[in-house]
Amino acid sequence: MISEDCAVVRPPVLRPGDAVALVSPSGPTSPERVARGVELLTGWGLRPVPAPNAYARHGYLAGTDDVRAADLNAAFADPEIRGVICTRGGYGVQRIVDAIDMAAVRRDPKVVAGFSDITALQFALWRGARLAGVHGPGAAWRDERTPLRSAESLHAALMTTEDVSVSAVPAEDTFAVRVPGRATGTLLGGNLCMIVASIGTPDLPDLTGAVLLIEDVQEPPYKVDRMLTQLRRAGALDGLAGVAVGQFTDCGDGWDTTIVDVLTERLGDLGVPVLGGLPIGHGPDQLTVPVGTPATLNTETGTLTVSP
């Protein structure tokens, strides 16, 4: 539960002319992969500034831990930088979250956008600064997966103060996952693997009264079962207000037990509303939502509405 003496910090909305740092705190990328994202951000009137080591490579990491942490901290400390857009996820941000200068984050809160491995960064920023963030595509943009609708969704979350509403889509693999009801609470979560990897660390949030967002990619049903079972056994799901189920992309091929079967069984007896079919995650037409702000989940209307 969020304590009364630790208010949520909502960073200022981005405005035309603002500089945004493009940071790679996890896996490596390249200028070619990020070029389309730079084009989009520039078209919105923003000034994308690649971090000094945005295109570094150190095995499966975007540079050594030291340089990735340095890029993040430089962006948080620079008064000219008004937002941090992660280029991509991958793996590695948990290796550097303990080196983040939380005092700098608290002095000058900035919107941090990303998903996948970036869930661990947003958990750390929530723990250290109660900073609300944005769960959405990174700057390594691919139009074939994130078309115009995805771009408009990210733009709205970053550059407007309107509520964000996402509707369940029948074509999504998780659409049949539903437990009737209406829930309100702070929206927290993101990538299921990273939520589970945070168990036992200081960064797993207290989910009492929260609406939990989960999504994942290329995880077979038994692994999703294992992760949800671990969360249950750890007590992490006790006191939830509701569960928002996003995209579970490429998670069911070749298995008799479907991802819908697993999600329904492992979430269906928690005694809270559950809404599947939300186009949030690693799949086509990915939409953006704030995390760390109040949300309402309504299974009757099939919507998740989140404060900016």
Residues belonging to the active site? 116, 215, 282
Tell me how many helices (H) and strands (E) the chain has: 8, 14
Nearest to residue 281, comparing CAs of 146, 204, 194, 191? 191
Tell me the C-alpha distance between 19 and 14, whole Å: 9
Judge whether 174 and 199 are in contact, CB under 8 Å: no
Judge whether 89 and 191 are in contact, CB under 8 Å: yes
Q: Rounded to 10 degrees, what is the CA torsion of 156, 158, 159, 161?
A: 70
Tell me the C-alpha distance between 1 and 183, whole Å: 15
Q: Rounded to 10 degrees, what is the CA torsion of 24, 29, 30, 35?
A: -70
Strands 81-86 vs 19-23: parallel, antiparallel or unpaired: parallel
For the record, the structure tokens of 7 come out as: 């208010």
